[in-house]
Amino acid sequence: MARHDLKRAEKARRAYERGEARRFTRRSRRRRITWIVSAVSVLFVVGFVTGAVYSPLLSLKIIQVEGASRVSSASVRAAVDGQLGRPLALVDFDAITRSISKFPLIRSFVTETVPPDTLIIRIAERAPIATLATSSGFSVVDPAGIVIESGAERQPGLPLIELGAATRGSPAFTASVGVLLALPSTLLKRIDTVTAQTSDDVTLTLTGGQSVVWGSVEQSALKAKVLAAVIAVGGTTMKYDVSAPNHPVLAGN
């Protein structure tokens, strides 16, 4: 009986110890299971997203060009159509930039990808400000002096800048452009020619033949207001001097 009781006690002790071991390790097992389930879930999500992003279903099929007026939208699309068929995540925007930079009419651009298969290119074109005479005809330029287009004949509706010995990028050109940018549209459309040798001797010739001594580009906003006022009362005046805008001078025929 004593041996039987001893075995029973040892069996009960081992059962108790196993129960205690399971009780103390239950929390760690739960943490381990939770970690495994979370890791598998993250891997599944990452794999799913990666597969979706690089899937042919999200490859570039449509290129839209917005904001084009003087530049050809078809030409812009043709320049970047090497990106067609690429997953949107792998579109080479550096290559797109290099291709679009070859268009002198485009001043800047932004891109937008629209899943599942579209790339939108929004461009801002260079705005013409004047024409310059060249050995082969005339060049239309923007305020920075970038040639937008060239032709044998002067383009109507744009002032002609005459610089003499000065060139594009010179102080004379910068001053001439500064004056044109300061003019309201009602005056700008009446300008036929801008003449300058330096930054301080800008002279305008109106479409009616009147000349305007402007001087430097300083106080151009005030000079523009004064010029508009004196033209309104000028009558047969053929020469205006607004180089000192507080003391304008009018001269007749």
Structure confidence at residue 240 as a pLDDT band (50, 70, 90): very high
In whole angstroms, what is the distance from residue 213 CA to residue 195 CA? 10
Which pairs from 229-237 meet CB under 8 Å and 24+ separation? 234/210, 237/210
Can you give the pLDDT at residue 242? 96
DSSP 3-state of 100 = helix
Q: Which two tokens stand for residue 28?
A: 């760690």
- Cα first-last separation, the chain: 146
In whole angstroms, what is the distance from residue 37 CA to residue 30 CA? 11
Do residues 122 and 110 make contact, with C-beta atoms less than 8 angstroms apart?
A: yes
Nearest residue to 66 (alpha-carbon basis) of 125, 122, 118? 122
In whole angstroms, what is the distance from residue 162 CA to residue 176 CA? 9
Q: Above 80 in pLDDT, residue 30?
A: no
Q: Which residues pair with 213 in a beta bridge?
A: 203, 241
In whole angstroms, what is the distance from residue 204 CA to residue 179 CA? 9
Q: Above 90 in pLDDT, residue 196?
A: yes
Calculate mean pLDDT across residues 122-139. Answer: 92
Structure confidence at residue 48 as a pLDDT band (50, 70, 90): very low
Q: Above 90 in pLDDT, residue 143?
A: yes
Which of 179 and 40 is assigned the larger pLDDT? Answer: 179
In whole angstroms, what is the distance from residue 75 CA to residue 43 CA? 44
Q: Which two tokens stand for residue 150?
A: 């060239």
In whole angstroms, what is the distance from residue 107 CA to residue 60 CA? 25
Calculate mean pLDDT across residues 202-223. Answer: 95
Is pTM, for the whole model, over 0.85? no
Structure confidence at residue 17 as a pLDDT band (50, 70, 90): low
In whole angstroms, what is the distance from residue 3 CA to residue 234 CA? 135
Calculate mean pLDDT across residues 228-243. Answer: 87
Q: Above 60 in pLDDT, residue 47?
A: no
Give the mean pLDDT of the chain: 84
Q: Which two tokens stand for residue 249?
A: 């001078």
In whole angstroms, what is the distance from residue 42 CA to residue 48 CA? 10
Q: Which two tokens stand for residue 116?
A: 């599942």
Q: Above 60 in pLDDT, residue 11?
A: yes
Beta strands 202-206; 106-114: pairing state: unpaired
In whole angstroms, what is the distance from residue 72 CA to residue 106 CA? 10
